[in-house]
Structure formats: structure tokens, C-alpha cells
Amino acid sequence: MKQQRIFFSVLFGIIALLAVIVMQPFLSYIVLAGILTYTLFPVYHFCHRRTGRAALSSAVSILVALLLMVLPAFFLISELVEQVSGAYNTFQAQNLQRVADYLSGLTGNRLNFQEMLTTAIDQIRRSIVGLAPDILGSIGELLVGLFIMFFVMYYGFREGEAFIARIRQLLPLESTLKESLFYELRTVTQAVLYGQVMTAVIQGSVGALALLVFGVPNWLFWGAIMIIMAFLPVLGTPVIWVPAAVGLILDGDTARGVGLLIVGSTIVMNIDNFIRPKLVSGRTKVHPVLILIGVLGGLKIFGFIGMLVGPLILALLVAFIKFYEHTYMDPKMSIGPAAD
């Protein structure tokens, strides 16, 4: 019996490895399909409850993803890549460089903000340019990838719940432990996708729109930076829009600079305080350090999709650690719905 189990385990591992190798060329599209399916499942559930037709509900959900997420994302990334060089040159020659010199002067030149910001912006510029081949690759590869993504989403909406139920059935755990584990994984996933990533995207997007309205050049690039900075609990988006506003004022455009400061302090900064509690209410809180490391590490390893996958992987790791701690090290503690 033991030899049969070992044989099966080795054979299963080999087949699983081969399966990953087969899926590898389109793995990013498959992962993105899973994330979009999970995020938009409430839309599918809403449609299915009213129509009773799974195929139609899946098609509507995919159309929502295409119109509201996929097409805007490809358009914005195309524009973003075009703005990268211009933003870098603007930073070196104009407003933000002047602000960096001013900040360095306030510290008695003990901190060289100019060098720090130049290095950071250059690294981000190279990272974004490096994303271009992945996102804007050959049309044929892109179309095949999108076809696979939507195909996976279609059946993910229709059969996703049954698939999760099957995985839950196969886990060698007691029913109460299965409930606790899946509860923890579900709440952490929701906290990351809705409470952290979505909040940062909304805050950075509104900040980018403010830069556009007040005439700051390369607003889309700086908006992308603000999305990343929104994960920082102390610095956040003001790191971008405050220097931009001060630069406008130093250039003699006082009205636009003051207007940007007002909009940034009253609207952009408060988006985090207004949206995050509504999206994360009653869910597990994920430490900002994990989210930031996940975003930056995910971008570096997985490319654009890593901005979603990175923090999710780290958050799930923490969820598994908590589950192990509460279940096997301190069984008296509970992580299920009753503890929430």
C-alpha cells in the first residue's frame, strides 16, 4: 500500500509539472482569468439570479470585464509606455527636480532628494518599458491569450463553485477545519483584491485625473506611480501631487498649483479613508508592508499581472500560517465566521 502511494505521488508530481509546462506560455492569461472571474462573480450571480441562464450570465460578465477592465487597461498601458520617456525628461529638467533641490536644501543637503528621486524614477521607467513587450506583444499571441482568458472565464463563472466544492471535498481535513481554512482564504483574497488593490487603483486614477485637469505633463505616468505609492500608509499619493503642485507654483502658475493642492488634500487623500472601509468592512486586514512588497516583487517577477498576483500570494501565505497556528498550535482559538 505504501509503495502504491509513493508511486502515485511521484507520477502525480510529474504529470502536474508537465501540465504547468504546457500552460506556461499562457499562464499569465489563465491567472488573470481566475482573478477577474473571482472579482466579477457578484455580477454573474446577479445576472444568473434574474435570468436563470448560466450561459447568458457568463457572457454578460465577460462583456463587463472586456469593456470596463481589459480594453481600458490595454489602452492606458499603451499610452503609459509612450509617456515614460517624456516623464523622465520632465522630471530631470523641470518642476520636480526643482522641488527635490528645495527639499535637499531644507535638510542641509544631508539627504540628496535629487539623486534619490532620479534613481527611483529611472528604475520605474525601465520597469514600465520592460512591460511593453509583455502587454503589447504580437497581435497573434495577444489574441490567442485573450481567447484563452475569456474561455477560462466563461467556464469559471459557470463551474467555478462546483470546482471549489470538489477541491474542498478532496482536502484531507475535518469539515470544520475545511470551513475555517476556506473562510480565511476567502476573506484574505477579498481584502487584497477589493480593499487594497482596488482602493489603490481608484486613488491613483483620481490623482492622475487631477494632474490632467490642472495641466501637469505626463499625467498618466505619474498616476501609475501614485497607484503604487497608494499602498504606502505614511507617504502615499501626496509624494507625487504635492511636488507637482509646488512645481506649478514655483513656475508662476499659482492658481493651478493651489487648485491641485486643494483637490489633492480634499479628494485624492480622502478616497482611501472613504472607499477602503466600505470594501474591507468585516474582512481580514492585510498588512501594508505585505501588499507593497507583493506589488513590487510581483511586477518584477511576473510582469504586469504580478501587480495583482504578488500581494495575493503573500496574503494567502499569511492566511495559511494563521490557519496552522490557530488549528494546530492553539486549537482553542477560532478563525471562522464566529470569530469575526
Is residue 93 in a domain? no
pLDDT of residue 93: 45
Is residue 166 in a domain? no
Confidence category of residue 151, pLDDT binned at 50, 70, 90:
very high
pLDDT in tens, 97-148: 565 665 566 556 655 556 666 666 666 656 555 555 555 455 667 778 888 9
Q: Is 146 exposed, middle or buried (0-12, 13-18, 19+ CB in 10 A)?
A: middle
| Residue corresponding to grid cell 472613504 | 274
Is residue 241 in a domain? yes
Is residue 184 in a domain? yes
Q: Which pTM does this prediction carry? A: 0.67
pLDDT of residue 14: 92
Range of the domain at 277: 174-340
Residues 6+ apart with CB under 8 A from 183: 335, 336, 337
Is residue 39 in a domain? no
Distances (CA, A) of 21 to 26, 151, 312: 10, 20, 22
On the question of pLDDT at 155 being above 90, the answer is: yes
Report the mean per-residue pLDDT for the chain. Answer: 77
Counted domains in the chain: 1
Across the range 207-219, mean pLDDT stands at 88
CA angle centred on 199, ends 195 and 203, rounded to 5°:
165
* Residue of higher predicted confidence among 191 and 334: 191
Is residue 210 in a domain? yes
Residue (of 152, 155, 151) closest to 54 by Cα position: 155
pLDDT of residue 259: 92
Instruction: Say what percent of the chain tops pLDDT 90.
Output: 11
pLDDT in tens, 246-271: 888 888 888 998 999 999 989 988 88
On the question of pLDDT at 171 being above 90, the answer is: no
Is residue 306 in a domain? yes
